[in-house]
């Protein structure tokens, strides 16, 4: 029972430990948290996908 609860806790826990200070990337004068960098990366990915992926065809458009 206790083991099941512990494994459920592991599954439901945040993928990143939020109880400690965040990780930061330093690049010259640029300093950004890894979390924000991931979000920026996701935005770039979605942008590229939105430009490249075909849109479902609708009935007659002008």
Partner 1 sequence: MSDPATSREVRSGGWTGAVRRYAVRTLPPEKLLPDTQPAYMASWIYVFGVLTVSALVVVVATGCLLALEGPGWWHVSSVGKYVNSLHLWSVELFMFFMVIHLWGKFFMAAWRGRRAMTWMTGAVCFLASVGAAFTGYLTQQNFDSQWISGQAKDGLNAVGIGAWFNVLDFGQMLMWHIVLLPLALGGLTGLHVLLVRRRGIVPPIDATVPTPGAVEGRL
What is the binding site for partner 1 (CB under 8 A)? 39, 42-43, 46-47, 49-51, 53, 55, 57-62
Q: What is the 3-state secondary structure (H, E, C) of 13-43?
A: CCCCCCCCCCCEEEECCEEEEHHHHHHHHHH
32: left (phi over 0), alpha (psi -120 to 50) or beta: beta
């Amino acid at each position: 029972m206790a083991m099941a609860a512990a494994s459920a806790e592991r599954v439901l826990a945040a993928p990143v430990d939020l109880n400690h200070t965040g990780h930061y990337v330093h690049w010259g004068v640029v300093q950004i948290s890894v979390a924000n960098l991931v979000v920026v990366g996701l935005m770039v990915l979605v942008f590229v996908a939105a430009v490249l992926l075909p849109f479902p065809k609708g009935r007659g458009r002008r």
